[in-house]
Structure formats: C-alpha cells, structure tokens
Structure 1
Amino acid sequence: MTVMMFGCFLTSFGLYLLKGSSIVTGGTAGLALSVSYLLPISFSILFTLINIPFYILAYFKMGKKFTFSTILAVSLVTLFSSLLPIILPSIAFYPLLGSIMGGFIIGIGTIILFMNGSSLGGAQILSITLQKQFNWNMGKTNFIFDTIVILIGLYSVGIVRGLYSIVSVFIISFMMSTFKEKIAHRNTVKGSVETSTVVETHSV
C-alpha cells in the first residue's frame, strides 16, 4: 500500500509540473488536463468522471481486484492533485523542460503502479488488456492513444505546447516499453503465487 501511494504521489507531482508549464499529456489524465484549461472544473473532478467507463472495462477484462486497485490509485492521484497546489508554491518551467521532467516522473509513478497490479485507468487499462490478450506492446499502444488525446488537446494549449506535450508522452511510453517485460513478469509471478495460495487453501 505504501509503495502504491508513493507511485500515486509521483504521478500527481508529475501532472502538477505539466500543469504548471501549461502542458498536457496522454490518457485520461491528459484529457482531464485539457478540459480543465477550458472549463471552470477542477482536474480532480474531471479525472474521476472520465475514468468511470474504463472502470467498467477493467471489471470485465481484468477482474475485481485490479479494478478496485485502479479505483484506489485514481482516487489517490485525485486527492494528491487537490492537495499539491495548496502545499506547494506555484511552479512554472519552460515548456520543454516541464514536459521532460513531468513525463519522466509520471513514467516512474506509472511503472510503480503497474508492477503492483494497478493502473491509472483509461489508456493504461486498454494497454494492459491488449498486452495480456494479444501481447501487444504496451508502450506503443499507449503512445498511439495518447497522441490522439494530445491532438484533441491542441485546441486548449496551442500547437507549440502540443508538440512539447508529445515529448512527455514519448518519455512515458518509452519507459513503459522498456519495463514491459518486468511488468508482465511481476504480474505473472504475483498471479501464480495467488493461484497457488488459493489451491493450497482449498486443499486444506
């Protein structure tokens, strides 16, 4: 639980850096950021609402445990994202630097969540589902989905910042692709251990 909270905090901090640089990113987080620039609705509320349809997908494709873990992760990111502007001073970086730093920090947070059997919903649920069922590369799937989200977000941040945003998406996707095998192995091992435990329990 502590490790998961740390992953959520890192992700929230990365998003905080992106927002301070007026940069968007991919997935439901990026979509929520884009809309928050246009409407007087907080990122936290938007992030929660946008993820609801993906919770349903996760429930049927990934099971209850993964779904509840994802709901918890999204809730923690939402909570941390609400608290960071209160706790920390306003941070503004040059867009390219903010994109690189934010993308790298979000990438670390996302990998921590994946390796602990959770996600941040949205494209990540889709990426994990396709990786498990068809062995599709998680990073590439995520990159395609995220690029589409950023193209939508160009309206809110402009073309130049939109291009900077793609940098953050590329960094996150590259990190996911790099750790893909470790993530898959970790989740497989955890699943095997849980299955063995269930078998032993029923045997007793």
Structure 2
Amino acid sequence: MFKAKQEKFWQDFVTKVTIALIYAFLYSIALNFFWQPGHIYAGGLTGIAQILSTLFDRSGGFTLSISVIYYLLNVPMFILAWFKINKKFVFFTVISVTFASIAISMVPTVPLTNDPIICAIFGGVINGFSLGLALKYGISTGGMDALIITLRQHTGRSIGAISMGINGLIILTAGYLFGWPYAFYSLLAIFVSGKVTDLVYVKHQKVQVMVITQQPNHVIPELQKVLKRGITVIPQGYGAYDYHAQTILITVITFYEMELLAKVMKEVDPKAFVSVSQDIKILSHFEELDIV
C-alpha cells in the first residue's frame, strides 16, 4: 500500500513538472512572439512587468528584463500564499514561475508580425491554452493568484470580478502611458486568453446528470465512492414501454468528472439511461473537489 502511494506521488509530481515546463514554453512564445512585438500588455503581474520594463527602457537609465521583474513581483505572492493558502500551492507555484521566467529570458523575441490585432488574438490563444492546461493539472501559474484568492476570502467577491478589476487598472495604465489603441488591443488579448482558458480548463463547469437505472443498489454506492457527490433518488418510476420499475438518480458534477461517471456506469450498469444537462446555474454551495 505504501509503495503504491509512493509511486502515485512521484507519477503526479513528474506529470505536474512536465506540464509546468510545457506551460512555461508556450507562455514565453505568446509573450515573445506576439505580445512584445505587437506592444500588447497582458493582465496580472506579466502586464505590470511589461509596463515597468518599458518605463525602465524609456528612462534612459538602466534596463531590467521582463523575466527578472516578473520573478521579483512574484516573490511577495509566494510569501502571501505560504501564510494564507497552503505550502503545496506555493511549491508548485514557485516551480511554474521559475520555469516561466527562465523560458521568457531564453526564448528570443521573434516579431512574426507587427499587426497588433493578430498579435493580440494569437498571443491570447496560446497563453489561454497554456494557462488552461496548467490549471487542468492543478498547477498555479503564479501571478496574482494568491492575491486574488486572499481578496476573495476577505471581501466575498468572485474571482472573476476581482481579476477584471485588477486587469482593468493595468490596461488603463498601459493606455495612459503608451497610447489608448494598445490598451484596446491588450483588452482583446485578455478576452481571447480567458475564453481559451475556459475551453481547456473545464473543472469548474457544472453539469446536471440524470441516471435512470434498474440497479440503484449497485449504482448509488459506486457513484458516491468515486464522485463523492450528493445524489437525489426518485424511486418507483417506470418505463412507459414495458412498465419495468426504474429508479431516477439526479446529481450535479463538474464537467471534469464526467469521465469518472461514464467509467462507473459502464462497469456497474451499462444498460442505464444517462442524460446530461450543461450550462446549469447553482444558487447554493457547491464544493470544488480536488480530483487532480
């Protein structure tokens, strides 16, 4: 048992480190191939690093690379996450931020095009994909994650609202200092990045599942064991075709858990009828389970 747990730990560790490397490489491509040549300013700490680096260059004094500024800005976030969130969160955050900073400095700036709209869209797509991939595997990419989570805990506001507020200030600052057209292009990049992230990272998207089965005593325990979700049971239903007794089960899971549910149903009751409703809204508490 101990050996199996140890093997799983190292498998998860290697997987997360590999994903962190892939994220860092794609992130640096988005920044150095598209956003920097197109004068597009990203959201979060990357956008702040871009602004500070540009100001240093224009001051005529000393220059400081984006990668160095980005890493330095993340250090206070590491400390905040250490005390406010958890140590595991900080560990993988440091790994991903370190990889990203190294990749930004090593990957050359290659201006494939100077069209700001193309740079905004393609940079946003690549960045959104890399971020969604990292989140899908439970990796924090640093930046303002710790600050946003802490503000949510203290203010009760949603992560989306806090993130939009911070990014809005960054974009307004970039527009005021460097020109309003680039602020609009940067806003486009952030929008595209967010949409692509949502397409890749589906863990937070919720679906309602209705299962019609003739074997509830087998299905219910297995679903509860694997999904750890509440299940509403409607007994004594029947099919209008053959009038066989049926039990209706209703539960809400995340889209990320759909694969687990499908596997359970295939093993326990492959003849059950399973219906899935997407785009539902939850008004009460719904716990986000860590199943990565």
The interval holding the TM-score normalised by the smaller chain is: 0.7 to 0.9
Preserved contact between residue 53 and residue 65 of structure 2 (Cα < 8 Å): yes
- Relative to its length, the structure with more strand (as a share) is 2
Query: 2:41 and 2:67 mapped to 1: Cα distance?
Result: 15
Q: Which amino acid aligns with 1:105?
A: I
Unaligned runs of 5+ in 2: 1-16, 57-62, 206-253, 257-287
Query: Residue 189 of structure 1 aligns with which residue?
Result: 290
Query: Residue 92 of structure 1 aligns with which residue?
Result: 113
Aligned length: 189
Identity %, equivalent residues: 28
Task: Using structure 2 for the length normalisation, give the TM-score.
Answer: 0.57
Q: Sort the Cα spacing of 1:60 and 1:178 in 2 relative to 1 into closer, same or farther, 3 A.
A: farther
1:55 equivalent to 2:156? Answer no
Q: Sort the Cα spacing of 1:122 and 1:128 in 2 relative to 1 into closer, same or farther, 3 A.
A: same
Instruction: Report the Cα offset of residue 132 of structure 1.
Output: 8.0
Preserved contact between residue 124 and residue 193 of structure 2 (Cα < 8 Å): yes
Preserved contact between residue 140 and residue 173 of structure 1 (Cα < 8 Å): no
Q: Which amino acid aligns with 2:54?
A: Y
Aligned equivalent of 1:12, options 28, 32, 54: 28
Larger relative contact order (CA 8 Å, sep ≥ 6): 1
Instruction: Report the Cα offset of residue 142 of structure 1.
Output: 2.2
Preserved contact between residue 143 and residue 170 of structure 1 (Cα < 8 Å): no
Secondary structure at the residue paired with 1:117? Answer: coil
Unaligned runs of 5+ in 1: 192-204
- Relative to its length, the structure with more helix (as a share) is 1
Query: Residue 53 of structure 2 aligns with which residue?
Result: 36
Query: Residue 146 of structure 2 aligns with which residue?
Result: 125
Preserved contact between residue 139 and residue 176 of structure 1 (Cα < 8 Å): no
Preserved contact between residue 66 and residue 117 of structure 1 (Cα < 8 Å): no
Query: 2:117 and 2:75 mapped to 1: Cα distance?
Result: 31
Tell me which moved more, 166-175 or 156-165: 166-175
Preserved contact between residue 28 and residue 47 of structure 1 (Cα < 8 Å): yes
Larger Rg: 2
